[in-house]
Amino acid sequence: MKTAFSAPGDYIYFKSQVPLHKIPIGTKQWRYYDFGPKVVPPLICLPGTAGTADVYYKQIMSLSMKDYRVISVDIPRVWNHHEWIQAFEKFLDAIDVHHMHLYGTSLGGFVAQLFAQHRPRRVWSLIPSNSFLDTCSFSASMPWAPVVSWTPSFLLKRYVLMGIRDGPHEPFIVDSVDFVVSQVETLSKDVLASRLTLTVDAASVGPLLLSDSFITIMDTNDYCAIPQQLKHDVRERYPEARRAFLKTGGDFPFLSRPDEVNLHLQLHMRRVGVEARADLVPGVSKGGSGGSPGEGNDGREDPDDAPRDDGEPSEGPSTDSQLHPNPESSESHSLGDQPLSNARVCHVVNEDIMVLFLPHLQDILFLHLFPLYLGSLCITLNNCWKVRRSIK
């Protein structure tokens, strides 16, 4: 296929700075990164079928430098969606995280929506990316699903990689595909089989108690393994949600378009009321070396939430999800810090918005300057014609 994969330099630096945590909870082995100030409600990233916790390393490095807490999690070996919800809740209890913001791509976006549906008081906001609402289309295209647990590892990996388009790509998309392929090679047979089973297990996302105003849908407009109709269904389900479209990026925009993705994530966090805590993290190397149980307190504990959160209407998660993020912004900065903070925010937003517009600068200049060029050309030709007539 291609030559041996060489890890990017920024990934090697990431591995040297951010510790990988592994904790057993029951029969599940959880593998995750936790970086950033512990008092900030975390953004938890959930990968797709072919991803690991490592695929979000660009988001961890960028957002933690801006003083957000980011947790990137491997989906462990779970065989149905009920087991996923129970296992993920136990994991959150073990690392002492009671409320969070969920960002998931593909399968990760689907299971994030399921968790938000069944544990609404724990999820403050949601960012599904290239995701879907049900598994019907996937189960229909995978008739051998009943024997997936007996399928050899190399066949499972081949099936997963077949979903990634192998064709002419822009260099940054090629690099993202190469990185994900290298991560697939690290997955065990049981983990791959369980993720494929989650993809075809009969389940669908029901109505969420989370308001659409706390949801941002981030999709790519070029080729993606998730059919456009399934992504369209997600947009129809949350009509009032904020939409963030990326012109290109392929299946892994968090790797191929990290600047744009990080900007949308940061704007989402600010919009739902989460401000960075610049006074708590002086630098990357000192930021989030923690993540062990007992240290990951988000500073907003509600002991009644975690054990008894099963989505009953009497708990009123809708108001809970809308009221909690607002106090966070009032806690984040003292009055004396506001002018400096506001100046820093404006600088960051302007810088990141430039990143969005630079790829389209050529198109913008063409649309504005081409009519002027045609006008001046017509005037020049008209004058030349008049001069020739006067000479004759």
Residue 75: half-sphere exposure toward Cβ, Cα within 13 Å:
36
Look at residue 391 in the predicted model and tell me its pLDDT.
73
CB 300 within 8 A of CB 96: no
Domain boundaries, the chain: 9-277
pLDDT band at 139 (very low <50, low <70, confident <90, very high): confident
pTM of the predicted structure, to 2 decimals? 0.71
**Which residue carries 């820093």 as its tokens?**
344
**How far apart (Å, rounded) are the C-alpha atoms in residues 286 and 296?**
15
Write b or e for each residue in 366-390: b if 16 or more Cβ atoms lie within 10 A of its Cβ, otherwise e: eeeeeeeeeeeeeeeeeeeeeeeee
Angle at 226 between CA 192 and CA 106, to 5 degrees: 50
Report the C-alpha gap between 344 and 332 in whole angstroms. Answer: 14
CATH for 9-277, among 3.40.50.11900, 3.20.20.70, 3.40.50.1820, 3.40.47.10? 3.40.50.1820
User: Does 15 score more than 70 pLDDT?
Assistant: yes
Dihedral over alpha carbons 155, 33, 85, 189 (to 10 degrees): 20
Nearest partner of 119 among 336, 364, 309, judged by Cα: 309
- Mean pLDDT value of segment 4-31: 91
d(CA 18, CA 187): 21
Alpha helices by DSSP H, 166-257 = 171-184, 189-200, 228-237, 253-256
Element (H, E) at 29: strand 28-35
φ, ψ of residue 269 in degrees (nearest 5): -60, -40
Dihedral over alpha carbons 117, 122, 125, 126 (to 10 degrees):
-50
Q: Strand, helix or coil at 46?
A: strand
Separation CA 141–CA 138 (nearest Å): 5
Position 258 pLDDT exceeds 90? yes
**Stretch 60-69: mean pLDDT:** 94
Whole-angstrom Cα distance, residue 370 to residue 375? 9
Tell me how far apart the alpha carbons of residues 223 and 4 are, in angstroms, rounded to a whole number: 25
Tokens of 382: 């008209």
Select the more confidently predicted residue: 2 or 80. 80
Output the pLDDT for position 377: 72
pLDDT at 312: 39
On whether the CB atoms of residues 105 and 255 are closer than 8 A, the answer is no
User: What confidence tier does 280 reach under pLDDT thresholds 50, 70, 90?
Assistant: low
pLDDT recorded at residue 365:
59
Residue in 129, 204, 186, 195 with CA at minimum distance from that of residue 159:
195
| pLDDT of 50 above 80 | yes
Identify the pLDDT of residue 346: 42
pLDDT in tens, 173-203: 999 999 999 999 999 999 999 999 999 999 9
Sign of CA dihedral 372, 373, 377, 383: positive
- Whole-number Å distance between alpha carbons of 380 and 138: 61
Two structure tokens written together for 336? 């004396």
Report pLDDT digits (tens) over 141-176: 888 888 888 999 999 999 988 878 776 678 889 999
Query: Which residue reads 């998660």 in tokens?
Result: 317
- The CB density around residue 204, as the number of other CB atoms within 10 Å, is 14
* Euclidean distance between the first and the last CA atom of the chain, given in angstroms as a whole number: 70
DSSP string, 116-143: HHHSTTTEEEEEEES--SBSHHHHHT-T
